[in-house]
Structures are given as structure tokens and as C-alpha cells.
Copies of this chain bind each other. A is one copy, B any other.
Amino acid sequence: MSAVLYAQVHLTLPAWVHDAVDTARVYAGDEDKMALAIELARRNVEAGSGGPFGAAVFGPEHRLIAAGVNRVVSQHASLAHAEIMACMLAQQRLQSARLNTLLHPITLATASQPCCQCFGATIWAGIDRLLIGARGEDVTELAGFDEGPLPADWIGELERRGIEVVRDLQREQSRAVLRAYAEAGGQRY
């Protein structure tokens, strides 16, 4: 097999995302931010555009910088988890590889606990606060996804790097999306 080298990759959110978010809205509290992440996850399942995961990045004035949903299967990209899509798009918008060098604090809300890949990615992205809905064990129990190996004290590792972690925000609502995905026969990968 000889072939031209691929030198570019192009990842996109589904078109419905433009209708699901309001970039002018103030997402004042942690609950508002998490509600958007879970709503993105829910709509991703409903639209069949990816796995049951959503995430969103917010700036210091509680406005949305970028949204993300899981696009792994649809875009043939194991990287394209919701948190990664949201952080990459936020970095593109701010034109900075580290979000919180420009705006502070930066909050990432994710409907489910980051997997081993997104755990590491969160450290480099320039996040100050990480809001988590469902736990890793919920993702495995309800939707059958492996979350991969994390450091034993993963929350401590994040907090030692200046990232505040808030868990169990609307955990039941996020669990409901995971359950709906499994009940609809959603793919595990």
C-alpha cells in the first residue's frame, strides 16, 4: 500500500448544535453550565450524531466559549470525545493553546467524568474549574464504556495543578442520558 500522505484532519460538530446553544446567554451557576452539557449529550443521542456525551467551555463572564459532543464513530476519530471537541473549539476561537492565559477562570462542564485521555487533555487545555455530572462508574454501568486507567488520585492530580473539581452535578440527569443511549442500542467503542 503506497499512498499520498494525509496531512490534515477536519473535525466538526453536528449542525443541530447551532440551535442547541445560545452564545449570548449567561450560564450563571454551575447548575446552568452542567444543564447545557447534559442537554448536548441528550441531543447527541436523539440525533444519532454520536455517543451520550456533551461538554461546554465557559469564560469568566459565564458565557459559552465552545460546545462539544462525542463524534468518535461519525468522524472516525477516537480523539473526538465531547471534552476534547469543546476544548479544541474554544482554543480555536481564542487562538490560544492554553485557554486560561487569556481569560480566567475557564470552566469546563462535562456530562460524564473524563476518561483517561480527556483527563490528560484537561490538564494541558488551560482549565480552572472542571464540573462533572455522571461518574466514571455510571458510564461503565449504564452505557458499557470503558473509562480507562486514571492515576489513583486523579482528582488530587488535577487540584495540585490548579484545577478545581466539582462532581455529581445533576448526576441523575446525566445517568438518564447514558441509560437512554444503552436502551436505544447505542454503539459501545
Q: Which residues of A contact B (CB under 8 A)?
A: 1-13, 15, 17-18, 21, 23-24, 59, 61, 63-64, 66-67, 72-73, 75-80, 84-85, 87-98, 115-121, 123-126, 148-152, 154, 157, 189
Contact = CB atoms under 8 A, between A and B. Distances in A.
Nearest to A114: B120
B78 A121 contact: yes
Contacts of A64: 5
Nearest to A119: B120
Contacts of A2: 23-24, 63
Q: How many identical chains are in the complex? A: 2
Contacts of A123: 116-117, 148-149
A1 B92 contact: no
Contacts of A8: 10-13, 89
A76 B96 contact: yes
16 contacts: A6-B66, A7-B13, A7-B15, A7-B18, A9-B89, A75-B97, A78-B97, A79-B79, A98-B189, A115-B120, A116-B119, A117-B121, A120-B120, A123-B149, A149-B157, A151-B151
